[in-house]
Amino acid sequence: MSRAPLPSWLLRALQVLGMAWALPNTALGLIAGGVCLARGAHAHVSTRDLAIVFHGVPFGPGGALTLGNVILHTGHTLDEPCQTYAHRAGHGEQPRILLADHERAHVYQYMVLGVLFLPLYGLCGGISVRNRFERAADCYALHGAGWWPWTRSQ
Ligand SMILES: [Zn+2]
């Protein structure tokens, strides 16, 4: 059974509330992004991802990190294919996903959980296939739904 979509005005109002609730995390992301800008990164607003995306981030092992409505990315486009956590961990073959879709799921998670995101993410295992936040983000990237970490199938 599918649900009717929210009216656009209600969706927009909820997005604004979510962005406000995620603002402390977004501020951390903007500070980190500002440091990266000074070291050669560039930024743009992605309305699709509801985020300010910093590309060419010169730190980290590669990939992307979402902080509120900010995505920090070492590459130059989020529209690059990548493997799911389960695939990388050898838990079965899965099709490749778009990094943008995975990170957008984290933006949605932040907009619901706000300042609770980082402590809950840490309690759920951090950057790991065991973490329900990562499995949910991969589920969303694979199927276009299921970004909420406590969905029954997670
Ligand atoms: Zn992730």
Q: Please say if the pLDDT value at position 4 is more than 90.
A: no
> Burial code of 18-43, b = ≥16 C-beta within 10 A, e = fewer?
bbebbbebbeebbebbeebeeeebeb
Q: How far is the CA of 13 from the centre of ligand 1 (A)?
A: 26
Q: Edge-to-edge strands of the sheet including 42-46?
A: 42-46, 51-55, 70-73, 64-67
Helices 8-21, 99-113: axis angle to 10 degrees equals 80
Per-residue pLDDT averaged across 34-58, rounded? 97
| Residue 5 falls inside a structural domain | no
- For residue 152, tell me if it sits in a domain: no
Around ion ligand 1, residues with a beta carbon closer than 5 Å are 134, 137
Q: How far apart are the CA of 132 and the centre of ligand 1, in A?
A: 10
In a domain, 9, yes or no: no
Distance 109 CA to ligand 1 centre (A): 11
Instruction: Provide the mean pLDDT of the chain.
Output: 95
> Rg (Cα) of the chain, in Å, rounded?
15
Would 1 be classed as within a structural domain? no
Residue span of the structural domain in which 30 resides: 14-143
Tens of pLDDT, residue by residue over 115-140, are 999 999 999 999 999 999 999 999 99
Q: How far apart are CA 126 and CA 35, in angstroms?
A: 24
In the reported structure, the alpha carbon of residue 90 is separated from the centroid of ligand 1 by a whole-number distance in angstroms of: 17
Domains held by the chain: number: 1
